[in-house]
Amino acid sequence: MKKVKFIYNPFSGENAILNDIDTVIKMHQLKGYIVVPHRISFDIELGRAFDDIDEYYEYIIVAGGDGTVDTVVNLMKELNIDLPIAILPVGTANDFAKFIGISPNVEKACHQILNSNPVPIDIGRINDKYFINVASTGLFTDVSQKTDVNLKNTIGKLAYYIKGLEQLPNFRKLRIKVESNHFTFDDDMYLTLVFNGQTAGNFKLAYNAHVEDGALDVIIIKACAIRELIPLFIRILKGEHLEDPNVVYFKTDKLVIQSNESIVTDIDGEKGPDFPLNIECIKGGIKVLGIK
């Protein structure tokens, strides 16, 4: 008896998964799996999804965006559940699934999952929490946290950009200290991102990142004259920004970030911990299905 736990977020994206639940179950049943669904809701703790996990479960399917996947991974680590995961990218932001090559089409993604073997990949840990794609701090890092769920479901990624424009009046320099064995930065910045993946907000920022290299990619946008930000943004669009003089970029397996500024941290679109931040790469931290 082969079982698969199917955890789906009906609120992700434009409620897209609701039209594909039958596809997920049908394709798995044809391969001999018993699919046990769990619907994410505000009324039941997500941890209850794992109450029946036993030796018959082969893997866990997560249907949602980066935040949903992040929450599931953290619960699995907390409960010491060492099963492979499979991602159906149906959220507003699916940066990590895009990075590892999972199709946004549910039927195609299921085909990838069902015809693959588990691959160990890296994840990040920030204090006592884990992240799959990116941890960040600085300007605009709480855009996702402040964006209304209904607005995201209605207009998708555009909702993030609208919320970001609302925060332009708060644009200012921020003091931060970043320490690692490879590099130290103690200066003013606008934005600091620590990538396990490559993209954030649909921008491919950490284009040198690899999912199995045991390292995190750190990108710091230094505080600079406003007039210098326009050419920097153009370089971002062209995928040439890591060589820009206003960008600090390095790889490391561990780092510490400290700041006395009144700024928040973000983990894959959800609120992160307070400073100081102790961040490290957990090499082979989870096993994932469907990777091309």
Cα–Cα distance, 126 to 128 (Å, whole number): 6
- Rounded to 5°, angle at Cα 48 from 45 and 50: 135
**Domain holding 37: CATH number?**
3.40.50.10330
Domain boundary residue among 93, 116, 139? 116
Sign of the torsion formed by the C-alpha atoms of 208, 209, 210 and 212: positive
Do 276 and 175 fall within a single domain?
A: yes
Residue-level pLDDT at 241: 93
Do 110 and 133 fall within a single domain?
A: no
Greatest pairwise CA separation for the chain in angstroms = 63
Domain that holds residue 97: 2-116
Cα–Cα distance, 86 to 134 (Å, whole number): 19
pLDDT single digits (tens) 166-196: 444 456 889 999 999 989 999 999 999 999 9
Instruction: Determine contact, residues 135/266, Cβ cutoff 8 Å.
Output: yes
Residue-level pLDDT at 160: 40
Do 240 and 161 fall within a single domain?
A: yes
Place of tokens 């769920």: 149
Do 84 and 157 fall within a single domain?
A: no
pLDDT single digits (tens) 200-216: 877 899 999 999 999 99
Do 265 and 133 fall within a single domain?
A: yes
Residue-level pLDDT at 145: 45
**3 state SS of 273:** coil
- Helices 106-114 and 21-30 cross at an angle (nearest 10°) of 30
**3 state SS of 96:** helix
Sign of the torsion formed by the C-alpha atoms of 121, 36, 90 and 219: negative
Other residues' Cβ atoms within 10 Å of the Cβ of residue 170: 8
pLDDT single digits (tens) 40-83: 998 899 999 999 999 999 999 999 999 999 999 999 999 999 99
Domain boundary residue among 116, 150, 180? 116
The one-letter amino acid at 228:
E
Do 90 and 219 fall within a single domain?
A: no
Domain boundary residue among 48, 81, 116? 116
**Domain holding 253: CATH number?**
2.60.200.40
Work out the mean pLDDT of the chain and round it to a whole number.
89
Q: Taking 80 as the threshold, does the pLDDT of residue 94 lie above it?
A: yes
